[in-house]
Amino acid sequence: MINKETLSQTDFLYNYVVSGSVLGYLEIRIVDNVIDIINIFVNEENRNQKIATSLMNHMFENEDYNKIMLEVNENNIIALNLYKKLGFKEISIRNKYYKEDAAIIMQKED
């Protein structure tokens, strides 16, 4: 089951819950019809079961948006693969955003 929690006027959390335990979550910020992905996380022992994919697809279906933006470490290949698979495109790079590593800025339009 996926539930939505309100954190503030702009910030929301989608929780992926099985038998009362949160196995993963997706935190977003919505300002002026633009969604920012703040974080997505799945417990290590529950990875590779499409939980992150389910959380993102659930958000796509339940939110009104013009575009979705995110930043990901250039070396986080797993997350990069996930986002590309979900239709995000690389739009720019910010060097040394994460100490020595660059951030890839990605965007998906509705």
Ligand X SMILES: CC(C)(COP(=O)(O)OP(=O)(O)OC[C@H]1O[C@@H](n2cnc3c(N)ncnc32)[C@H](O)[C@@H]1OP(=O)(O)O)[C@@H](O)C(=O)NCCC(=O)NCCS
- Which residues in this chain contact ligand X in the complex, by CB under 6 A? 40-42, 47-53, 72, 76-79, 81-82, 85
Q: In the bound complex, what is the minimum distance in angstroms from residue 110's beta carbon to ligand X? A: 21
Angstrom distance (rounded) from CA 58 to CA 64:
12
Nearer to ligand X, 27 or 63 (CB): 27
Q: In the bound complex, what is the minimum distance in angstroms from residue 51's beta carbon to ligand X? A: 4
3-class DSSP state of 78: helix
- At 79, phi and psi to the nearest 5? -65, -40
Nearer to ligand X, 9 or 95 (CB): 95
Q: In the bound complex, what is the minimum distance in angstroms from residue 9's beta carbon to ligand X? A: 23
Angstrom distance (rounded) from CA 93 to CA 107:
12
Nearer to ligand X, 33 or 81 (CB): 81
Our measurement of the distance from residue 55's CA atom to the centroid of its chain's CA atoms, rounded to an integer in Å, reads 8
